[in-house]
Amino acid sequence: MEILEKIKNLPPEKVSTVEDFIDFLRSRGGEFGLLAAAARLSEQAFREVWENPLDAEYDEL
């Protein structure tokens, strides 16, 4: 059975729950995308901190 058919066969209050869940999934994906973008942007700013001779020994751990 297709997902749309399953949703069509639900009572109205359950359809509302499915809609809420879909909205939750969309918002969660956006948050993770935003976090990943922020992490990528911060890499350049922290490059000097991460890659320097004084901390080179930590690279070996």
| pLDDT score for 1 | 66
Euclidean distance between CA atoms 32 and 54, whole angstroms: 33
pLDDT of 4 higher than 80? yes
Structural domain boundaries in the chain? 29-61
Euclidean distance between CA atoms 24 and 18, whole angstroms: 10
| pLDDT score for 29 | 66
pLDDT of 42 higher than 70? yes
Euclidean distance between CA atoms 34 and 9, whole angstroms: 36
pLDDT digits (tens, 9 = 90+) for 22-35: 888 887 766 677 78
Q: Rounded to two decimals, what is the model's pTM?
A: 0.46
